[in-house]
């Protein structure tokens, strides 16, 4: 059962045990893992990581390291495709509030699944998307 969705940054921070991940976000993921539930992440996250590597905003091999770790943690992390339901949910998110397309897709994915989004993004947290941070 998917109980939350994580955005790109939060997923990277969790996988790398980065202290920038809030204690509430870490606890939500850890609790899901302990209970045998899933935390979803949008397929756009994988694309965004490659893009950020190319722009040198993420360390080289972040994509490879992340996908290796996610594959070994399949009981926790589950890739969610971008589909019709995500596209329809995106209409519920004001573009003026969340202007970045990958962020809107990720937020819409959470809305389409009816689960909160784990994110530190202030714009998303001020939108109509339920969040954990």
Q: Would you state the pLDDT for residue 27?
A: 97
The Cα 119–Cα 100 span in angstroms is 14
The CA-atom distances, in angstroms, between 119 and each of 54, 64, 68, 93, 123 are 23, 22, 22, 15, 10
How much is the pTM?
0.94
> Contact 104/90 with Cβ under 8 angstroms?
yes
Q: Phi and psi at residue 89, in whole multiples of 5°?
A: -65, -30
Please check whether the domain covering 2-132 is classified as CATH 3.40.50.1010: yes
In tens, the pLDDT along 55-113 reads 999 999 999 988 888 877 667 899 999 999 999 999 999 999 999 999 999 999 999 99
Q: List the one residue out of 12, 19, 24, 127 whose CA is nearest residue 59.
A: 12
């Amino acid at each position: 059962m998917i109980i939350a969705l994580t955005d790109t940054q939060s997923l990277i921070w969790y996988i790398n045990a980065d202290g920038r991940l809030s204690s509430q976000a870490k606890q939500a993921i850890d609790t899901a893992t302990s209970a045998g539930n899933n935390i979803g992440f949008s397929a756009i996250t994988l694309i965004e990581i490659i893009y950020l590597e190319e722009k040198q905003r993420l360390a080289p091999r972040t994509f490879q390291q992340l996908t290796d770790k996610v594959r070994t943690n399949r009981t926790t992390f589950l890739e969610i495709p971008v589909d019709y339901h995500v596209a329809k949910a995106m209409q519920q998110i004001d573009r003026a509030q969340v202007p970045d397309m990958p962020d809107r897709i990720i937020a819409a994915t959470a809305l389409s699944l009816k689960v909160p989004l784990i994110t530190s993004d202030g714009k998303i947290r001020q939108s109509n998307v339920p969040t954990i941070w």
